[in-house]
Structure 1
Amino acid sequence: MGRSLRITLIALFLIVALIFGLTLGRQVFLANSEPTPAPDLSEYNTYVYEQPRELVEFTLTDEQGNTVTREDLKGRWSFVFVGYT
Structure 2
Amino acid sequence: MDVGIRNTLLGIAAFISIILGLLIASLVIPRPMSSDEAEQIGWYHFDQPRAINDFVMVDHNGKEVGLSVFRGQWSLVFFGFTTCPDICPTTLSVLNESVKKLDSPPQVVMITVDPERDSPQKLRGYVPAFNALFRGFTGSFDQTVSLAEQMNIAFGKIPGPEPGTYTMDHTASIVLIDPYGRYAGFIKAPHRPEHITKVLRSL
Per the normalisation by structure 1, the TM-score is 0.50
Higher strand content, 1 or 2: 2
Higher helix content, 1 or 2: 1
The structure showing larger relative contact order (alpha-carbon pairs under 8 Å, at least 6 residues apart) is 2
Per the normalisation by structure 2, the TM-score is 0.24
Who wins on radius of gyration, i.e. which is larger? 1
